Structure 1
Amino acid sequence: MNATALDVYRCSKRFRSRKGTAQALQDVTFQVPEGARCGLLGPNGAGKSTLIRILANLLRPDAGQITVLGHPLRWGRHAYKRQVGFMLEDLALMERLTGREQLELAAQLYGLPPDQAAARIESLTRPFEVATALDRWIETYSNGMRRQLAFLLALLHRPRLIVLDEPFEAMDAQAIEAAIDLLHAHNREGATLLISSHRLDKLERLCDYLVVLHRGRVRFAGPIADFCNHLPEADTLEAAYLGWLRAG
């Protein structure tokens, strides 16, 4: 039996404002086995980005227990961070650095020796358009190149767990294909994938496991094949998901 890369137990998060409170997550519980390729689905407002920000230690949950690669998640502590690669909805790139400088800085923070970092940057960026702009300031990048750079930053240090929030947004077809190839390669090397995306055709190519959130709760967690079997007439993940939404 595979070890568990991610164990989320009864995670809850509520946001408060002058207009009242909103329950973003409610008793969210699921596990992702080590080496799995897991898609995270749900309509807008389902709580996907909130959950990913909690995993990245950028938001503090109100309740619950989370274990990442065997390390209990503790607010403000980052024992597991060098083993996880995150791409968040807010890319948070450093606009007045070049793409190369941003990658080199990240490599330094992750403890990669300079020669290894240079080789890794060259091999990672080669299939992407951003490779032609590595010595330009990031503030000059198109949205697509920004997404490519943020994606590559998440993979730079060969993490054991890769967590991506809408990685294919604004990428062109060639970049998407290169990204999918890279993710498959990292998974073959043992990395676990957790990917939130509205591009269901891409998730179906990448993932074998699925977690579906709706109104802050887990509505399904298990193999994609089991989810699709709920609607035998659906021949794609997208058709099964849309049918599931219509069924309420």
Structure 2
Amino acid sequence: MIEVNQLGKRFALGDPKAAAQEHGADPRQRGRFFYSVESVSFSCPPGAVLGLVGPNGAGKTTTLRMLSGVLTPDSGSIRIDGQDLHQGGNAVRAQVGFLSGTTALYERLSVAENLTYFGRLYGLSPAQCQERIELLSEQLGMTAYLKRRVKELSTGMRQRANIARAVVHDPKVIILDEPTTGLDIMSTETVLGFIAEQKAAGRPVIFSTHHLDEVSLLCDQLAVILLGNSVYSGALEGFAGSRDSDAIRKEFMRRHHETEGQQAMEEVQHAQADLA
């Protein structure tokens, strides 16, 4: 079980004026800080898949980096089976498997050598590494290229190997940041099948995506982030009254436009207050 409660994260701005030009009228920039995540809450129980959705720049990746332990939140908490992720030390952090957009492998090593290396970093014995490599190569369809160097692999092959690297230590919680982006149909099907297998094994899986058909197919839970805040967190069917991807898309766009309207109104009110 992973429980996320009112996460917040801000970043200091070196040049607030330049940042204002880059971010436009984003209300999260206030003074010398950009509040990437202001208040995000959700939970994902064992054996469930939670889809994390939102437009680019909403705060999804910052949220996922806090869930992985890479970033420390300024406020709020993350608990895995009741243990605080950021206060429980490396033993708690090791319970998370995280795939980011920048997860990388050593190009000159083979897939098997990479997985053995990262497995050993997590404290697995050589025999345990071999057992995990055999299982993951079967689940992710990597058997044919386990001994090939990473630099020789296609995009889809690399992504499957990256996912294997993220979970080689058999974590309790799996977090995947846009795992199917840029993949062909076959690799996408393999990755989605792997997520379904982890769900069946009783693991909580959180993944961000822009593909609402994937949300419709796999997810039990949904968390929607707009402008650094979670505007929905709960059962997938409760968001749009249906699992249909078109219904989910329409409800997402409705909430997005509603949030933009509220933002525009607040900007007008602030401008009027400044003139008063």
Q: TM-score, normalised by structure 1?
A: 0.87
1:240 aligns with 2:236: no
Structure with higher strand content: 1
> Which residue of structure 2 aligns with residue 214 of structure 1?
226
CA distance in 2, matches of 1:115, 1:232: 43
User: Is the Cα–Cα contact under 8 Å of residues 236 and 243 in structure 2 kept in the other structure?
Assistant: no
2:248 aligned partner, one-letter code: L
Please state how far the C-alpha of 1:155 moved relative to its aligned partner.
2.9
1:8 aligns with 2:19: no
Q: Taking every aligned residue pair, what percent have the same amino acid on both sides? A: 33
User: Is the Cα–Cα contact under 8 Å of residues 234 and 240 in structure 1 kept in the other structure?
Assistant: no
> Which residue of structure 1 aligns with residue 40 of structure 2?
28
> Which residue of structure 2 aligns with residue 45 of structure 1?
57
Structure with higher helix content: 2
User: Is the Cα–Cα contact under 8 Å of residues 118 and 165 in structure 2 kept in the other structure?
Assistant: yes
1:164 aligned partner, one-letter code: L
User: Is the Cα–Cα contact under 8 Å of residues 148 and 171 in structure 1 kept in the other structure?
Assistant: no
| Alignment equivalent of 2:172, drawn from 160, 163, 171 | 160
Q: Which runs of 4+ in 1 moved over 4 A?
A: 127-130, 231-236
User: Is the Cα–Cα contact under 8 Å of residues 60 and 75 in structure 1 kept in the other structure?
Assistant: no
> Which residue of structure 1 aligns with residue 122 of structure 2?
110
Which of 1 and 2 has greater Rg?
A: 2
1:108 aligned partner, one-letter code: R
User: What is the correspondence of 1:137-176 to structure 2 with a 5 Å cutoff?
Assistant: 137-176=149-188
3-state DSSP of counterpart to 1:145:
helix
Q: Give deviations 1:17-59, integer Å, cap 9, x for gaps.
A: 2222321000222222233211101100111110111112211
> Which residue of structure 2 aligns with residue 101 of structure 1?
113
User: Is the Cα–Cα contact under 8 Å of residues 88 and 165 in structure 1 kept in the other structure?
Assistant: yes
CA distance in 1, matches of 2:243, 2:118: 46
Check 1:232–1:182 CA distance in 2 against 1; reply closer, same or farther (3 A cut): closer
1:19 aligns with 2:15: yes
| Alignment equivalent of 1:91, drawn from 98, 103, 111 | 103
Question: How many matched pairs?
Answer: 243
Task: For structure 2, list consecutive stretches of 5 or more residues without a partner in the other structure.
Answer: 17-32, 260-276
